[in-house]
Chain A
Amino acid sequence: NAGVTQTPKFRVLKTGQSMTLLCAQDMNHEYMYWYRQDPGMGLRLIHYSVGEGTTAKGEVPDGYNVSRLKKQNFLLGLESAAPSQTSVYFCASSYSMHRGVEQYFGPGTRLTVT
């Protein structure tokens, strides 16, 4: 099993450009999450999904959109990138958010917006 994979690993964008980050999991998990990690701020939840076809906002959703058309994939889109979106983005998945079930994380995507 590959677990949780993310593409791309690195990306540099100019302000105003758009891009999509792809997260894929092969564990048949229902729940998927996108976080951003910034120095001194820990991980903050951007958007999440509790099943195929569903999405919900997290703590910092502005400037991002997501889609979950297939159970195994969760896409994060930046329509018009801003320097404030320079960050490391992590995707995670879990089969539940109950009974102390853990989340499994991908390797991250380092995005720089100039």
Chain B
Amino acid sequence: AQSVSQHNHHVILSEAASLELGCNYSYGGTVNLFWYVQYPGQHLQLLLKYFSGDPLVKGIKGFEAEFIKSKFSFNLRKPSVQWSDTAEYFCAVNARNTDKLIFGTGTRLQVFP
């Protein structure tokens, strides 16, 4: 069965620090990869996604992620975080022969001014 691992459960940073959140998945076939963000009190919204092509994808608000197929990873990065990035971040994987999206357990990011 597919699974998604997010090893960082809670990350605390100061503004302007760099961010990298890990995401690893277990599935040997072709996948679509997503990062969703949930700001406090709000619903999930898409941050970025990978379907095909350039493995380095750029999303909204300065976020990017790199798909490394050999490592089954899709880590999220941002060079300089802001207080407004405080949120919960979810990695999700869709195996291309299925109709389901499997989510990781989420990483809670707190950014202090």
Contact = CB atoms under 8 A, between A and B. Distances in A.
Nearest to A98: B96
29 contacts: A31-B99, A33-B101, A35-B103, A40-B9, A40-B106, A41-B105, A42-B4, A42-B6, A42-B104, A42-B106, A43-B44, A43-B103, A45-B100, A48-B100, A58-B100, A90-B44, A97-B100, A98-B96, A99-B51, A100-B32, A100-B52, A102-B46, A102-B49, A103-B101, A105-B45, A106-B43, A107-B42, A107-B43, A108-B43
B34 interface: yes
Interface in B45-68: 45-46, 49-52
Interface string A82-113: 00000000101000011110110111100000
B43 A90 contact: yes
Contacts of B44: 43, 90, 92, 105
A26 B14 CA distance: 40
Interface residues of A, number: 25
A96 to B, nearest CB: 9
Contacts of A43: 44, 90, 103
B98 A97 contact: yes
A106 to B, nearest CB: 6
B100 A44 contact: no
Interface residues of B, number: 27
A50 interface: yes
Contacts of B96: 98
A45 B60 CA distance: 26
Nearest to B31: A100
Contacts of A99: 32, 51
B94 interface: yes
Among B43, B96, B103, residue most surrounded by chain A Cβ atoms (within 10 Å):
B43
